Amino acid sequence: MSEIAGARFGQKFDELRAKYANTPDEIEHYEKTVRTVMLIRRFLMVIDAERKRAGVSKAELARRIGADASVIRRLFSSKSSNPTLRTVLDVLSILNIDIELRPKRARQARTRSSTKATRTKPHRRTSVKSSA
């Protein structure tokens, strides 16, 4: 997302928050929702960039995962796309993309443990590898 588009996107969220989130609980819920939507959007933008780099059209990708072309078009163009995990994993597999999941807390714990004499429990890495 360009910086200008991101600013407009953020401005729209700020306007909605001012209109609908009035209590601390509503504000917290709203901000959590915004973070989730933005994270999903960034994740899908990275996948779409890889799709383009691989030279795979949206229609071809849809055909290869057994979905209607409109599903893939919405996946990459809708600002509020919330795909199923199955769809994401199918797309990652077709595009031969591996992802690695790392808990944020483990990174923070490592930073803190480097200043302490005792070691913290090591974090566990989980990898998702494509089968293509």
What does the mean pLDDT of the chain come to?
79
User: Helix or strand or coil: residue 130?
Assistant: coil
Same domain, 89 and 45: yes
Same domain, 66 and 117: no
Q: Which of 92, 90, 78 is nearest to 40 (CA)?
A: 78
Q: Where are the alpha helices (DSSP H) in 55-123?
A: 58-65, 69-77, 85-94, 104-113
Is the pLDDT reported for residue 126 higher than 60? no
Structural domain boundaries, residue 113 = 100-132
Domain CATH code at residue 8: 1.10.260.40
Model confidence over 75-116: pLDDT tens digits?
999 888 889 999 999 999 999 999 998 898 866 666 666 555
Same domain, 92 and 104: no
Number of structural domains found in the chain: 2
Same domain, 47 and 106: no
Mean pLDDT over 45-53 rounds to 96
Q: Taking the model in full, what pTM does it have?
A: 0.63
Model confidence over 5-17: pLDDT tens digits?
445 556 676 777 7
